Chains A and B, each alone.
Chain A
Amino acid sequence: MNILAELKYTESHEWVKRNADGTVTVGITDHAQDLLGDMVFVENPAPGRQLAAGEACGVVESVKAASDVYAPLAGEVVAINIELETAPEAINQDAFAAWMFTMKPTNSADLDALLDAEAYRKLVESEQH
């Protein structure tokens, strides 16, 4: 299981990266893609949409199952990765490179409340037992 030390994480298995311009980039974790298997569809929120923290805002669908993607924090969707519409398998190949969307947080301090890599690792391990 691959967990990058420099990222933040949610209990619903999104990763969140802080960008220099104040936005954050969101994707699903390597653990999440491993559980879901081969991806066949990705649905992203529309740019400009205002999201509440924890709001279901996207879908990743594999051969096996569909799974909601949740906003890690409150804010506005700035950009989406349209390449995932034609190449959803990019998430399987490298979940941390295949970002889904970026958002501008309403309150950037919210990011600090998310899980760090160590806490996320413990969460995943606890779910496996």
Chain B
Amino acid sequence: MLKQTILNSLHRAAGAKMVDFGGWDMPLHYGSQIEEHHHVRHDAGMFDVSHMRVVDLSGDGVQDWLRHLLANDVARLNVTGRALYSCMLNPQGGVIDDLIVYWVGEGRYRMVVNAGTTDKDLAWMREQANGRAIEICPREDLAMIAIQGPLAREKVWSALPGARAVSETLKPFHATWMGEWFIARTGYTGEDGFEIMLPTDKAGGFWQALVAAGVAPCGLGARDTLRLEAGMNLYGQDMDETTTPLETGLGWTVWLRDDRSFIGRAGLTEPTRKQVGLVLLDKGVMRSHSAVQTTQGVGEVTSGSFSPTLNRSIGLARVPAAVTVGDVVQIAVRDKLLNAKVVDYPFVRNGQPLVNV
């Protein structure tokens, strides 16, 4: 039996094509995932991300505990509401999960973890909190809706009375409260917008108010092509417990500028592989697990799809560290070898293509 978010019946009523996403019955698209993609790049779209789990953390010493638990340093959060993207590592330096953590007040943090990893994340965190006065509270009573696109904030303000006053001056990667609602200027698309966490019993009404305000419901299909264009990793695909953040393009999230002791630090050795962007020069679509042939050795596409903005296939790949931007490599796609160019990513940000081929 698949798990359902509180918005499941609204998705079905809107004609969504539903798929099993890690045990959750989620919308893939509501007609055309490419149209939904463009809507987010040029206007405003929304995603039901209530399958992701909000976890509230509190207690004396919670900051010290998080500084040990996470590869990024929560001590960098110097303003209430500020968000930090981090990996949570195992002792070998492998990625247990990637997450966002918000500092919400003295001795209190709010974390958002991936849906498919929630159970193991909670088990790991409880094990690490053993013997400490840390309260770990998964918030199954909250839904989460991501509204993304250049007009997203404006449309949220028109749909939600009072929201403009509390969130108009909110900077990117910061969050604020509106009663029980938590409004964060974060996302997974490379566009401006909000992720809003709210009581489940308010989610249906808010979703419908957003539809009325002209926000297009978007499914996981568009979410994947948007995050790939934005150069954002997907857990389980671009990284997992067998890869370190340094091998998967997430070195920038590992805070190593002091001698802080954190789980996994000892496992972060100089990597022999690295993550690069690929743009396919030939016709076709790269898929995850396609082999990448380079003059430096073999690599693998970790995320590959079609970019609606660039109108060609793009991907992220893990390749030998000596591969450099500008190299032309060969990708095994079905029964052919196709040419691709190694590029810096993100591929697209704020509606604008960033790569030229």
Interface residues of A (CB under 8 A from B): 34, 37-38, 40-41, 43, 59, 61, 63-66, 89, 92
Residues of B within 8 A of A63 (CB): 33-34, 221, 225, 285, 305-306, 308
In the docked arrangement, what's the CA distance between A109 and B267, Å? 68
CB distance from A38 to the nearest CB of B (A): 4
Could you tell me how many residues of chain B have their Cβ less than 8 Å away from some Cβ of chain A? Answer: 16
Residues of A within 8 A of B284 (CB): 41, 61, 66
B32 contacts the other chain (Cβ, under 8 Å)?
Answer: yes
B96 contacts the other chain (Cβ, under 8 Å)?
Answer: no
Residues of A within 8 A of B225 (CB): 63
B32 in contact with A92 (CB, 8 Å): yes
In the docked arrangement, what's the CA distance between A66 and B305, Å? 11
A37 in contact with B28 (CB, 8 Å): yes
In the docked arrangement, what's the CA distance between A34 and B32, Å? 10
A66 in contact with B306 (CB, 8 Å): no
Residues of A within 8 A of B33 (CB): 37-38, 63
Residue of B nearest to A43 (CB): B283
Residues of A within 8 A of B305 (CB): 63
Residues of B within 8 A of A41 (CB): 283-285
In the docked arrangement, what's the CA distance between A53 and B306, Å? 31
The residues in B between 32 and 54 inclusive whose CB is less than 8 angstroms from any CB of A are 32-34
Number of A-B contacts (CB under 8 A): 36
Which of B34, B308, B334 has the most chain A CB within a 10 Å cutoff?
B34
In the docked arrangement, what's the CA distance between A65 and B304, Å? 11
B29 in contact with A37 (CB, 8 Å): yes
Given contacts A63-B225, A64-B221, contact A38 B283 (CB under 8 A): no
Given contacts A61-B285, A63-B34, contact A40 B334 (CB under 8 A): no
Residues 156-168 of chain B: 1 if any A CB is under 8 Å from the residue's CB, otherwise 0?
A: 0000000000000
Residues of B within 8 A of A38 (CB): 29, 32-34, 221
The 6 A-B pairs of least Cβ separation, nearest first, read A38-B34, A40-B306, A63-B306, A38-B33, A38-B32, A61-B285
In the docked arrangement, what's the CA distance between A43 and B283, Å? 10
Which of A43, A61, A65 has the most chain B CB within a 10 Å cutoff?
A61
Residues of A within 8 A of B29 (CB): 37-38
The residues in B between 303 and 348 inclusive whose CB is less than 8 angstroms from any CB of A are 305-306, 308, 334
CB distance from A92 to the nearest CB of B (A): 7
CB pairs A–B below 8 angstroms (18 shown): A37-B33, A38-B33, A38-B34, A40-B285, A40-B306, A41-B283, A41-B284, A43-B283, A59-B334, A61-B284, A61-B285, A63-B33, A63-B34, A63-B225, A63-B305, A63-B308, A65-B287, A92-B32
Residue of B nearest to A63 (CB): B306
The answer, among B32, B34, B285, B308, for a CB contact under 8 Å with A66, is B285
In the docked arrangement, what's the CA distance between A63 and B36, Å? 13
Which of A38, A59, A65, A66 has the most chain B CB within a 10 Å cutoff?
A38
CB distance from A39 to the nearest CB of B (A): 9
Residues of A within 8 A of B32 (CB): 38, 92
In the docked arrangement, what's the CA distance between A59 and B28, Å? 23
In the docked arrangement, what's the CA distance between A70 and B284, Å? 18
In the docked arrangement, what's the CA distance between A86 and B341, Å? 23
Residue of B nearest to A92 (CB): B32
In the docked arrangement, what's the CA distance between A56 and B225, Å? 29
The residues in B between 268 and 320 inclusive whose CB is less than 8 angstroms from any CB of A are 283-285, 287, 305-306, 308
Given contacts A37-B17, A40-B306, A63-B221, 4 further A-B contacts (CB under 8 A): A37-B29, A37-B33, A40-B285, A63-B305
Residue of A nearest to B225 (CB): A63
CB distance from A9 to the nearest CB of B (A): 22
In the docked arrangement, what's the CA distance between A64 and B19, Å? 12
B285 in contact with A37 (CB, 8 Å): no
CB distance from B205 to the nearest CB of A (A): 30
